[in-house]
A and B are shown apart, each in its own frame.
Chain A
Amino acid sequence: MTKRENGYGFVMPALVLLSFVTVYPIFYVFYLSLHRKLLIFDISKYVGLDNYLFLLQDDRFWNAMKNTVYFTAVSVSLELLIGLSLAILLHRSFRFKGLVRAIVLIPWAIPTVVSARMWEWMYNTDFGILNYMLGAKINWLGDTFWAIHAAILMDVWKTTPFVVILLIAGLKVIPQELYQAAKIDGAGNWAIFRRITFPLLRPVILIVLIFRTLDAFRVFDAVYVLTGGGPANTTETLSIYAYKVLFQTLQFGYGSTLSVTVFLFIGCISIFYIKILSKEMR
């Protein structure tokens, strides 16, 4: 049609900022990962891929990887299952819907750090309310088995509402008449869910999966504040390990290597999901 005016002036500031503050650092962190660099002493030595080779046999890295994958898999599955059930239960209109929605958003809205400390107090072995209600004396944050599950439970608490809201929005798009037609065609509740609701919800579920998987894989705030990565590194996720190497041991070289690894994994997961998503869109 008509020749449209240039938009480069409008787009430039954003692109410039993004390039300098995110893209350039990514290149820089790649660069750092090939060095041995101790920040305080300003020692910097190029070591090629040595850091990466070290990483491959770094037990603590593999432990962090295991923790992260476990955390991600269990959290995301739980959030999706609980979120889907709740969304189906709640997507009708009712009085006070706005009020309930607002309350449901609170876990999402409060800083992760605040909720971590909240749960930390609830998980307190001696004085925490959780143990009181269960009548138990479980050392939630100090037991090597329980700690990661405590972290998962807290993460699920915080993000399930977000999942519910997104899924409800997806459910709203499905016309009521399809359910009516299916009932008339003889479909029972389970058949309706399996053949109508779920297939039509798949794109939204996929998007939720993408967001949540990436977020869970990158997790730092919640777990760092809740357990600091302990006890005995059972809750040390990749991001926490990288952080500790960077800012506690000040090894910016190896720390960058770890960061780059996380980045590459996230990249692979994203590409994987995007491929599935574009196939879904067809």
Chain B
Amino acid sequence: MKRGVFYFSIVLMVLYCSGPFLWQFITSLKPDYELTMIPPVISKNPTAIHYVSIFREHPFLRIILNSAIVASSTTILSLIIGSSCAFGLAKLRVKYKSFILGFILSVSMFPPIATVSPLYIIIRALGIRDTWLALVITYTTFSLPLSIWILTNFFKEIPDEIYLAARVDGCTPYQIFYKIMLPLSLPGIFTTAILVFIFSWNEFLFALTFTSTPASRTIPVAIALFPGLHEVPWGDIAAASVVVTIPLIFIVFAFQRRIVEGLTSGAIKG
């Protein structure tokens, strides 16, 4: 009996989480006239026209490219700067260590809306509005607390003796960092990369503010502002949503254990 309740709730939970997306997928395959049919059912004439349309009528490929480049660059930068900072905090002498960590954590609590106006002015003044650079710098900075937090925890788990042994062997701290620490904490780096990538892929407010032309938008902005002349092109939007979600679903399925580890490492250990 308890078994039954258990499995029933699992099924319920799975439907609850995947339901809306499944419906969106069904929607994306319906020709336009079926979208307004009542009752809304699974399509009798599934079509791929929306998928074609988003690439032909909108610069969707370019938009995906924008997101990909921004997210990848952010991830790489965030890892480099974040891991370096985490190494310093975990293994080296730094005055006011807890103050610095506290400061970094508190940055993650800043509401984006508070920084968006001054950043907009600065970016406009620097002339880098509508560029990848503006987003990459912003995203890297805001993802640093996450990177530093996760990586500091990972570095802390590596025994101090390894650092000391390497020093005795004549390594400089820098060599220890990239020859020993980084390889030993690859799982943590990988997890951080995934979380940072997802964060920048999904970010909306800054992308909305810093881009002006349709061709420089990232995916979230494009989907939010999907143009339609008179009616909202639900089919196209659905298709775009599906296209955008598929890689994320792949990442999640492939790396769900790492993602959960990363998300919970802060909550449980911290």
Contacts and interface: CB of A to CB of B under 8 A. Distances in A.
Contacts of B264: 165-166, 169
B238 A121 contact: yes
Contacts of B188: none
Interface in B200-234: 201-202, 204-205, 209, 219-221, 223-224, 226, 234
A141 B223 CA distance: 18
Interface string B230-262: 000010011001001100110111001101100
A19 B100 CA distance: 12
Interface residues on B, range: 35 or more
Contacts of B38: 126-127, 132
B110 A266 contact: yes
Interface of B: 5-6, 9-10, 13-14, 16-18, 20-21, 23-24, 27, 35-40, 81-82, 84-85, 87-89, 91-94, 100, 103-104, 106-107, 109-122, 137-138, 140-142, 144, 148, 164, 167, 173, 177, 198, 201-202, 204-205, 209, 219-221, 223-224, 226, 234, 237-238, 241, 244-245, 248-249, 251-253, 256-257, 259-260, 263-264, 266-268, 270
Name the residue in B93, B138, B226 with the highest tally of chain A Cβ atoms < 10 Å from its Cβ.
B93
A129 B24 CA distance: 10
A26 B85 CA distance: 22
B144 A17 contact: yes
A99 to B, nearest CB: 8
Contacts of B111: 217-218, 239, 259, 262-263, 266
A237 to B, nearest CB: 10
Interface string A240-282: 0011001100001001100110110011001000000000000
Contacts of B91: 4, 7
Given A10-B85, A10-B177, A109 B223 contact: no
Given A111-B223, A113-B224, A106 B144 contact: no
A105 interface: yes
A270 B137 CA distance: 26
The interface size bin for chain A is: 35 or more
Contacts of B87: 7, 10
B113 A262 contact: yes
A122 B20 contact: yes
A246 B257 CA distance: 41
Contacts of B142: 21-22
Interface string A105-120: 1110111111111110
A242 to B, nearest CB: 5
Contacts of B81: 13-14, 17
A132 to B, nearest CB: 5
A81 interface: no
A118 B24 contact: yes
A109 B199 CA distance: 9
Nearest to B238: A121
Contacts of B201: 111
Contact of A266 (B9, B109, B117): B109
B93 A25 contact: no
B119 A25 contact: yes
A32 interface: yes
Contact of A112 (B144, B202, B253): B202
Given A3-B93, A13-B81, A113 B223 contact: yes
A17 B223 contact: no
Given A109-B248, A110-B245, A110-B248, A117 B118 contact: no
Given A103-B17, A106-B249, A204 B141 contact: no
17 contacts: A6-B94, A7-B93, A14-B81, A22-B142, A23-B107, A90-B13, A105-B260, A109-B252, A111-B219, A113-B224, A117-B241, A118-B23, A126-B36, A127-B38, A169-B260, A204-B268, A252-B117
A160 to B, nearest CB: 8
Contacts of A208: 267
Contacts of B202: 110-113
B267 A169 contact: yes
Contacts of A71: none
Nearest to A242: B113
Contacts of A242: 113
